[in-house]
Amino acid sequence: MADAIGDAILAALDDSSRRFVFPSEVAARDRLERSLERSGRKALPLERFISWDAFKALAFPGPSQGRPASSALRSVFARALMEENAGKPFLNALVPRSKAAASPRFARMVAKALPALRDLDGLRLLSPLLRDWQAIRERYAAFLSERALFEPGWNDRTALALSGSYTLFYPDLTTDWTDYEQAVRAMPNAALILAGEERTRYPAAAFATIVDEVRAVLIGLQKAITEGIDPARILISVAAPESVLPILEREAAVAGVSLDMREARPLSESAGGRLLADLLRLAQSQRSFSAMRSLLLDRSRPWKEGLNPRALIDLGIRKHVLAALPTIDIWEASMGAKDDEERKLYRGLRSASERIAEAAGFGQLRSAFDAFRRAFLDEAGWTLAQNDEIARCIRELEALEEASKAAGLGRIQGAAAAYLEELEELRYLPVSEAGGVQVYRFPVAAGCMPAVHFVLNLSEGAAQAASRPLSFLRDDERERLGARDRDLSSGLIALLVRSGERVVLSYSEDGPDGIRAAHQAIDPQSPKSAGLADDRDAWLPNADCLAPSGTAALRQAAVFPIQSSSARAALATVLPPRAAMHGSSGGSDARSYSEGSPERARLLGSALRERVAAAQSTDGALTISDTLIEELESCAFKRLFYRYLKLRPVDTGLSFVDALMTGSIYHNALESLFRPLAEAGLSIVCGESANGGEEGAGASGEARRPDTAELAAALDEAIALQERVHGPFAGMLLRTSRPAFLRDLERALDALLPKLDTHVPIIVEKPNLSAALPERDAMLVGRMDLVCAPRQGAGREPGRGAVIIDFKKRSLPKLKELAPDEDGRLGRYQMPAYAYLLKASGYEPEAAYYLSIEGPSGGGKRLVCAFGDEPKAAVPLEALPALLTALESAAARAAGRLRRGEVYLPREDDQERICADCDYRPLCRAHYTVH
């Protein structure tokens, strides 16, 4: 590519009085380096290669006896001004007088607009909004002149008589060129090289998606490096980097390409900014759990030794610290006698964050922030980059402190919030620690001359650059005043086309934010004709292309040599040998447990198998419950990790009053209600419905037993028990829900008691029962919620018949799960297991019911009869023997699987149903595997 800029520089290099001016600092630095290379000189003065901004500072320096206003000063001024407007309104349209109290919220907008208020010159101030801005401008001008300050953007546009001579490259591609054009053109010693009107369309590689585009660029980049081009001489420019950089970073990391992102980020996202924001949010939210979690679980923070931030979060989770309460400090109220360390940490954070939030000036804020860091953080533990970021944040805080002194401002309410706003405005580019291919935001690198320059994402919306006069006004105001945007993007793309020995432009139709049009200055073409191969197969090695001799493998090895051999090595160790994967039982040494299916299970190693069997045995016999049977019928992999390895996800979030807690309340309340009857041998009396239902008096004519008053007391006792375990916040929430709990329990009893009239409770939650199984060395175990026996004749002794009740919070089993399928298998083994246990204890099961306390979702009856004499029973009583046979077979299957140490996932057809809400997905990876 011809290099007109380079040639012009070279031709004038011997004239030591000539300086070269470029649109950006990046281009100026790059051109200095290229000029050294091309001229063969050892050194050149830095000040001969300057940016447009540096040139303006030389030619238009402002009043000689003043100091330029800083961004901190603008911020401080705007805040004070808008606070003044809140107290004594002088603005009418920018902030309507009726809303003047909200003025401080506009401070940031005003601070940003101040440098551009010079554009008001010469305008007829007809609208109230323009008059408001003029009023702000006048106050700002008075403020500056009282303090011998000046606003650089307002400087006189008469250029100084500079010594030497200047060549300005493409100044018309800068946003404020028109402001200075007349003065610069009048300078006798300034030569201009202008872009002018640009109408050419340049070939650009077009891709379907941004991911394809990024990958093609990375492949092109790898090829360039393989050809021997120094990575330091390759540049990437990205239009709208906010949405593309995450994709570029991710793909480059996968491809092992090192990038050096030269994209400044707001200081508020730096280590110091985030820390301050978290502390402020902690105080403002009155120490909400989520604010506490953001502060304490940010693992980049070096907490002092001896502090245990995780313990405080765990306490919040255990005690359900869901929200701040107006009357009590819920964290304090949730701590017990053993929580001294957590209490100390909590109190320290509370007072430190409040000091920061309440600081009434930047000086006070600085001391509060420093005190927090000294008390809680091990400053030696910050990384170099974090240290840099914090130092920069502190410098900005000092600048604000100085500015507020210069402005003569006393107390500044909300200093921390103002500081944080300032950090959001300031951008910070860290010194790059490692080398890598430099990546710039479009169009910063326009004018550079690398060996290869990739320019990505040239869509209409992304590649934007324009000069916007009166940008502080609303669009309708701008239009009325005839303000016209001056588009610079086509000229910048034309300059980028000349900014490299080889330049590749590219665009994708489906970008990060959806389908978009190509920029008008490009001509989308096939990647190949635009100089970029669309070689998808050359993207990283995958399992199908790892055969060493395949053509795809050879291409990949050429482009990604390290990744190719690493992937081959990794696959050899990660995946088991093919024979082991597809053998009928897998062999005891095949450890890829998630490869197993119910028909082709993987096997535990002998040591692990024995430990599992031991954990599942009592006195040498395997203990089998309906839960074990059902878990093994669905996913043995999950059971292995959950029951035996006890591997559980770590909670970092809060649960509200969850189903488990509510279910416990119902169980405890019903236990308290029925146990006294069991102990006294008293029968249940259906009696009058608590809700005015139709049941009427019981057969005996006695009053209802247990009665509603007893239910209320039993519920209160159950809530108190949960509060002791889960803390005061949970107790408070449960009491709020008490009327609903009571209503549901009463309705559930209304549905249940008619089935139990004259029956005596014989089992209420206890005891656990066990029974020998035909399977050798195996016994069935189980615990029932409620079992009642009909009273025998007129005596008090219960008979041997048994009605089984199982309480469910809401959902009930489906009838088809309760009846044997064509293979004689069941979806639920719970009731047959209970019937089996009761028979072994000398009872004759007569019926079994599931009772939904809250009523099944979607409506319907609260009771489901699993077996019995009822017409709607899932299984008639006479078919009970078939259920018991199905149970014995399932227990034998479960025992066999346990003894063999089988591990497997559900069949694929069953996974949607079984795997819903399972926490073990990242382990089994059943839902991530591409077959």
Contact 232, 221 (CB under 8 A): no
Angstrom distance (rounded) from CA 359 to CA 362? 7
Interface stretch with ligand SF4, choices 165-173, 271-279, 563-571, 916-924 (CB under 6 A): 916-924
Return the H-helix or E-strand segment holding 503. Answer: strand 502-511
597 CB-side CA count, 13 A: 11
In this structure, are residues 625 and 782 in contact, taking their beta carbons and an 8 Å threshold? Answer: yes
The residue count for the chain: 931
Nearer to ligand SF4, 840 or 914 (CB): 914
Question: What is the CB neighbour count within 10 angstroms for residue 469?
Answer: 19
Asked whether the bond before 706 is cis by omega within 30 degrees of 0, the reply is yes
Contact 867/848 with Cβ under 8 angstroms? yes
Q: Using DSSP, state whether 636 is helix, strand or coil.
A: helix
Strands annotated E in 495-593: 502-511, 514-515, 522-525
Q: State the DSSP H helix or E strand holding residue 668, giving kind and residue range, or none if neither.
A: helix 659-680
Cβ partners under 8 Å of residue 30, min gap 6: 445, 447, 448, 449, 450
Q: Least CB distance from residue 922 to ligand SF4, whole Å?
A: 9
Stretch that binds ligand SF4, among 20-28, 490-498, 736-744, 910-918 (CB under 6 A): 910-918
Estimate to the nearest angstrom the gap between the alpha carbon of 87 and the chain centroid: 41
Is 592 a binding residue for ligand SF4 by CB under 6 A? The answer is no
| Cα of 471 vs its chain's centroid, Å | 34
Q: Is 457 left (phi over 0), alpha (psi -120 to 50) or beta?
A: left
d(CA 4, CA 31): 12
CB of 813 or CB of 906, closer to ligand SF4: 906
CB of 595 to ligand SF4, least distance (A): 12
Nearer to ligand SF4 by Cβ, of 310 and 921: the residue is 921
| Cβ neighbour number for residue 416 with a 10 Å cutoff | 26
- Max distance between CA atoms of the chain, in angstroms, equals 124
Decide if 128 contacts 93 (C-beta within 8 A): yes
Q: Is the CB of 780 or the CB of 918 nearer to ligand SF4? A: 918
Asked if residue 639 binds ligand SF4 (CB under 6 A), the reply is no
CB of 506 to ligand SF4, least distance (A): 40
169 versus 920: smaller Cβ distance to ligand SF4: 920
Q: Which helix (H) or strand (E) segment is 508 a member of?
A: strand 502-511
Residue 921 interacting with ligand SF4 (CB under 6 A): yes
Which CB atom, from 344 or from 927, has the smaller least distance to ligand SF4?
A: 927
Which of residues 924, 928, 930, 931 is near ligand SF4 by CB under 6 A? Answer: 924
Site string for ligand SF4, 852-891 (x = CB under 6 A): ----------------------------------------
Stretch that binds ligand SF4, among 329-337, 646-654, 671-679, 913-921 (CB under 6 A): 913-921
Query: Could you say whether residue 914 binds ligand SF4 (CB under 6 A)?
Result: yes
| Residue (367 or 597) nearer to ligand SF4, CB | 597
Q: What share of the chain is helix, strand, coil (3-state, %, to 5)?
A: 50, 15, 35
The stretch among 581-589, 703-711, 719-727, 912-920 that binds ligand SF4 (CB under 6 A) is 912-920
Contacting ligand SF4 within 40-99 (CB under 6 A) = none
What is the CA angle 466-472-473, rounded to 5?
105
Site for ligand SF4 (CB under 6 A): which residue of 189, 387, 525, 911?
911
| Residue 529 · residue 203 · CB < 8 Å | yes
Nearer to ligand SF4, 277 or 603 (CB): 603
Closest CB to ligand SF4 among residues 225, 608: 608
Pairing mode, strands 621-624 and 265-266: unpaired
* Minimum CB distance to ligand SF4 smaller for 694 or for 917: 917
Only one of the segments 63-71, 275-283, 633-641, 761-769 lies at the binding site for ligand SF4 (rule: CB under 6 A); that segment is: 633-641
CB of 592 to ligand SF4, least distance (A): 14
Selected range binding ligand SF4 among 74-82, 325-333, 519-527, 915-923, rule: CB under 6 A: 915-923
905 binds ligand SF4 per the rule CB under 6 A: yes
635 in contact with ligand SF4 (CB under 6 A):
yes
Site string for ligand SF4, 701-720 (x = CB under 6 A): --------------------
CA distance 912 to 544: 28
Strand order, beta sheet including 165-169: 49-51, 18-22, 165-169, 190-193
Q: Name the burial class of residue 341, with classes exposed (0-12), middle (13-18) and buried (19+) by CB atoms within 10 angstroms of its CB.
A: middle
Q: Is 903 in the site for ligand SF4 (CB under 6 A)?
A: no
Q: Cβ 902 to ligand SF4, closest distance in Å?
A: 14
The residue from 637, 674, 829, 834 that contacts ligand SF4 (CB under 6 A) is 637
- Nearest distance from residue 229's CB to ligand SF4, in Å? 47
x/- binding map, residues 798-827, to ligand SF4, per CB under 6 A?
A: ------------------------------
Task: Based on the shown chain and the rule CB under 6 A, indicate whether residue 926 belongs to the binding site for ligand SF4.
Answer: yes
Of 632 and 669, nearer to ligand SF4 (C-beta) is 632
Among residues 214 and 924, whose Cβ is nearest to ligand SF4? 924
Size of the site for ligand SF4 (CB under 6 A): 13
Query: For residue 863, what are the β-bridge partners?
Result: 851
In this complex, which beta carbon is closest to ligand SF4, that of residue 654 or of residue 918? 918
Q: Strands 165-169, 149-150: parallel, antiparallel or unpaired by DSSP?
A: unpaired
Q: Identify residue 96 by its one-letter amino acid code.
A: P
Q: How far apart are the first and last CA of the chain?
A: 48
Where does this chain touch ligand SF4 (CB under 6 A) — which range of 64-72, 157-165, 269-277, 635-643? 635-643
**In 3-state terms, what secondary structure has residue 146?**
helix
Residue of 108, 638, 705, 726 interacting with ligand SF4 (CB under 6 A): 638
Q: Check residue 918 for interaction with ligand SF4 (CB under 6 A).
A: yes
Binding site for ligand SF4 (CB under 6 A): 635, 637-638, 905-906, 911, 914-915, 918, 920-921, 924, 926
